[in-house]
Structure 1
Amino acid sequence: MPSKSEHLLEQAYEKYVESLKQEEKRERDKLAERGEVLLELIHQDDETNSREDFDKTYKSINETLNSHGVLFKQKFLALDSIDAIGGALPEYVIALKTVSIPASAAFAHILATWIKAKYARKVRLKIGELELEAEKVEDIEKMIELAKDYKSKKK
């Protein structure tokens, strides 16, 4: 049986996790109101790719989005330590109204190439209460269209 301090620690952790979930929901709702989605690149925890491999992927995605006029922001992690390594995160906030059909197809192709490079990779898209995952190019294109439909139905 856990001690009283262990029980209190467990309760505090549960409250912390719940507050993180609430904060994520608020962020997703704000994105949806602005017509934006959060796109995450998901990889295996044990993936051993170098930072350079990930940077190449991000560069390719960024160039594709820029060349098609898509407005986006890539999330970054900055650490306040001499030994720490920060950098680009596999998360993008994308303005849906700027995603044309050619941009959607090109972006889906880049993401599908990234997925195919390693087992168990996928793309997750979040907008409001909607959370979608895809592992194939066709599914990525459908996912982007569903996100656009979600925004238009929320008006």
Structure 2
Amino acid sequence: MRITGNRAAMGAAGIAMAGLSSFALASGSVPVMQPPQDFETHQACVAALEDLAADDRRQVAPLSIDADGNRREVTLSTKGIERTGETTARYDATLWYQHGRPRPDLQRIETSHSYAHRLRECSGATMTTTGRDGYTLGTFDPIDAPEPKP
């Protein structure tokens, strides 16, 4: 069950005032499917996985806080490229995006979390990609607390 509108705002305020450090109001996700991609060789497919892994690493950003107290952080969760057989490999990764803003009215920081999860697998010279894009909304933490990790 999802609570929206005034009931959600009242519930959020009530929970925040009760002193609970963190909670989520809602979440959702959508599947991501891309057509298979063919390469000349298995090695070329693995090289493409390596490029995608490097792209993900470049998106990582440490927690930054601007002059208004707004927060931003990008983290990566992965084991890297895994060789699963002689002609099979996979790269399973999730990028998490956290955006927070002070809520002086609640004496809390409200943080939204979203993610992009991709599982890319090379079988021979063919790469398949599946995954999900999703979010969680409305975690609230004390203003002096560090940003929560998903």
TM over 0.5: no
Greater share of strand: 2
TM-score (norm 2): 0.31
TM-score (norm 1): 0.30
Tell me which structure has the larger Cα radius of gyration: 2
